[in-house]
Amino acid sequence: MSEIIRQVTIRGRVQGVGYRAWLAHTAEAMGLQGWVRNRRDGSVEATLAGGDHVVSEMIARCQHGPSAARVEAVVAETAQPDVLNLRQPGERFSILSTL
């Protein structure tokens, strides 16, 4: 299993509906590393790192999110390892402040 890192942007009604907490909880339960944060434009941004199949499964789950979310688009791009440095020290997965 190869390790990959993806930068994911989720658009739609994804702020104020528990999307960041849902994503962090789900990603951690799947054994992924990374972070998630709200963006000022109303989207949610996340970095997901782990096995390629697990990351792909998490990206697929991002299409739906928590029940109150209404996802319009999910865009995933390859990311460099240094993006993981934004995590809080000692955490596998962090919820960050809004960018």
Residue 22 predicted with pLDDT over 60:
yes
Which residue among 20, 37, 61, 70 is the active-site one? 20
Mean pLDDT value of segment 55-77 = 97
Which residue among 6, 13, 38, 92 is the active-site one? 38
Predicted pLDDT of residue 1:
54
Mapped onto helix, strand or coil, the DSSP state of residue 13 is strand
Is 20 among the catalytic positions?
yes
Instruction: Give 98's pLDDT tier (boundaries 50, 70, 90).
Output: confident
Is 37 among the catalytic positions?
no
Q: For tokens 């299409």, what's the residue?
A: 63
Instruction: Give 54's pLDDT tier (boundaries 50, 70, 90).
Output: very high
β-strand 3-13 against 70-78: which pairing, if any?
Answer: antiparallel
Q: Distance between CA 40 and CA 90 in Å, rounded?
A: 27
Mean pLDDT value of segment 6-30 = 97
**pTM of the complete model:** 0.94
